[in-house]
Amino acid sequence: MGDGGSAGVDTAALERELASLPEVQAARIVVTPSGRITEIHLITDDSKPPKGIVRDVETVAQARFGLEIDRRIVSVVQFPTASVAMPARRIALTSLSLTTEGNILRCRVRIEADEETALGETTGPATSSARGRLVAHATAGALAELSKTATLDVADVRVVAMGQQQVAVVLVVALGPDGEELTMSGSAPIRGDEGEAIARAVIDAVVRPAGA
Q: Do residues 102 and 58 share a domain?
A: no
Same domain, 95 and 194: yes
Which range of residues forms the domain containing residue 117?
Answer: 91-206
- Residue 110 shares a structural domain with residue 189: yes
Integer Cα distance of 164 and 8 in angstroms: 16
| Residue 94, φ and ψ in degrees, nearest 5 | -105, -25
Domains in the chain: how many in total?
2
- In this structure, are 73 and 112 located in the same domain? no
Domain contains 119 = yes
| Confidence (pLDDT) at 209 | 46
At 211, is the secondary structure helix, strand, or coil? coil
Exposure of 54 in the CB half-sphere (CA atoms within 13 A): 13
In a shared domain, residues 174 and 105: yes
Q: Which of 55, 79, 103 is the last residue of a domain?
A: 79
Q: Give pLDDT, residue 176.
A: 64
- CA dihedral (48, 54, 55, 57) in degrees, to 10, reads 110
How many C-beta atoms surround the C-beta of residue 36 within 10 A? 17
Lowest mean pLDDT among 40-44, 79-83, 139-143, 206-210: 79-83
Task: Please report whether residue 2 resides in a domain.
Answer: no
176 within a domain of the structure (yes/no)? yes
Q: What is the DSSP letter of 58?
A: H
33-37, 126-130, 174-178, 184-188: the lowest-pLDDT one: 174-178
How many other C-beta atoms lie within 10 A of the C-beta of residue 133?
A: 17
What letter would DSSP give residue 89? S
pLDDT of residue 210: 39
Q: How confident is the model at residue 85 (pLDDT cuts 50, 70, 90)?
A: very low
One-letter amino acid of 193: D
Question: For 31-55, what is the mean pLDDT?
Answer: 87
Q: What average pLDDT does the segment 173-179 reach?
A: 69
Q: Which helix (H) or strand (E) holds 64?
A: helix 50-65
Residues 195 and 125 in one domain: yes
Tell me the average pLDDT across 43-60.
Answer: 88
> Per-residue pLDDT for 125 more than 80?
yes
66-75, 125-134, 183-192: least confidently modelled range: 183-192
Residue 5 domain-assigned? no
The CATH number covering residue 179 comes to 3.30.160.270
Let me know if residue 187 belongs to a domain.
Answer: yes
Asked if residue 39 and residue 101 are part of one domain, the reply reads: no
What was the pLDDT predicted at 6? 63
CA 50/CA 54 separation, integer angstroms: 6
Query: In this structure, are residues 184 and 86 in contact, taking their beta carbons and an 8 Å threshold?
Result: no
Q: Last residue of some domain: 79, 103, 120?
A: 79
Decide if 112 contacts 94 (C-beta within 8 A).
yes
